[in-house]
Structure 1
Amino acid sequence: MSEVLLAADWYARHGKMPRLYVPVVVTPGSELTLPDGPARHVTRVLRMGEGAPLVVFDGSGQEAGVRLTEVSRKQATVTVEAVWPGSGESPLAVHLGQAISKGDRMDYAIQKAVELGVAAITPLYTERGDVRLKGDREDKKLAHWQAVAASACEQSGRAVVPPVNPPMTLTSWLGERHEALRLMLHLATDHPFDSKQRPETAALLIGPEGGLGDADVDAALAAEFTPLTLGPRVLRTETAPLVALTLLQHHFGDL
């Protein structure tokens, strides 16, 4: 049986079930002790018992159908019944450069970007951005954002967890860009979304509340980014990537 048919057969026999991110390599027939986070979710939140089926994915593209074989207050053990390559990845690899925003706005932008198939996310320090993270605070935020991305993969059916890179300045990020299509959302333009090329890679720049500053715009233009408007209404910084990514996936991806 092919790997695709194996996955379809396993899902058909067990129906809809929870998906958990477990970043370890699994092989058919092996036993796996779930990490503390997934174990707590299975036993205390979902209240699943021995014999219950679920799906785990390793974050790099592999999925596995497993069954709970031991459940206790301290740990949960599963047996791997089937392994197959995951699906749900877009043919368009988009690298999102997102200006860091306050509170839950950044979480929302990351969550929705992952649901829409983004390949990588880099939080950016921009001219008008008023968030500056240092030391332990930056490390904690980065770990939190990566957890948001993993959770979005669990929900959306993706088996690859896109990296949330350490925050960097916009200038540094622009210097690393080599994508075939490079777009920045910018209010002071009337350039609509009408690209005729069909790229395999794209970079998308989203500014902070209030938009990109003049110096940021000039730097992006020098890096061959095309200014883009999404229409006459001003979108919030966490809404803009959702709309732009939807358009990109519709035109060049799999929506």
Structure 2
Amino acid sequence: MDPKIDQLQKKICVYFKQPELLRIAVTHPSYLAEHPDEKQHNQRLEFLGDAVLGAAVAYYLYKNFPDAAEGSLTKIRAAVVCEPSLANLAKKIGLGEHLQLGRGEDLSGGRKRPSILADAFEALTAAIYLDQGWEKTCDFLWKYFREEIERAVNGVSRDYKSMLQELVQRNGREKVTYRLLSESGPDHDKVFVSGVFIDNRMLGKGSGKSKKESEQRAAQAAVELLREQDVERDISLT
């Protein structure tokens, strides 16, 4: 077995039944131009990996964020399954040093190029899926994706807090406060419930694995409520 392929297996803790799939996953199209004996590059795996990643992240979000609206889930998935995020994950596992590149691509910095790294991560995901199946693929992804998902959730949720503040100010009010309503569960798996209040009236409640996350979900609930009230007010005036 190619020593680089063996090293990569050890690094990601995934041992392939068909190591050839892993070799194809790290083979860039530019490599074939200089190695005519090679028959396959990673673009087909990249195509499959894009779909597998999208489905896996969608499943994770659906399962772990039961209170999130479809629009929020879509935004989070888009923030996670994108070139910068995938390239960052590829760098974390040192995927660049294992790529098979053409000499020109290598000399021009291809091992660090975000587009190449993101494509290779997608191809790697597909290779694991074909060789190990869905559950093992998800296990691999969650080791690296949890932090990215948390960052994306916080980013999208911050948008809701900003949106809530804008809606409140538009209605001539300013005071928005968040209160922790309850905290339950063991230390390693706590659930926090927070409420968001305007003039001491609770407009939204949300739960999460952290106080910050629960506050962010409460803001989302309040935004959705205020929007519904605006629609109802418009209807009553027609």
TM range (shorter): under 0.3
Normalising by structure 2, report the TM-score: 0.22
More helix by share: 2
Structure with the greater alpha carbon radius of gyration: 2
Of the two structures, which has the highest relative contact order with CA contacts closer than 8 Å and spacing of 6 or more? 1
Normalising by structure 1, report the TM-score: 0.21
More strand by share: 1
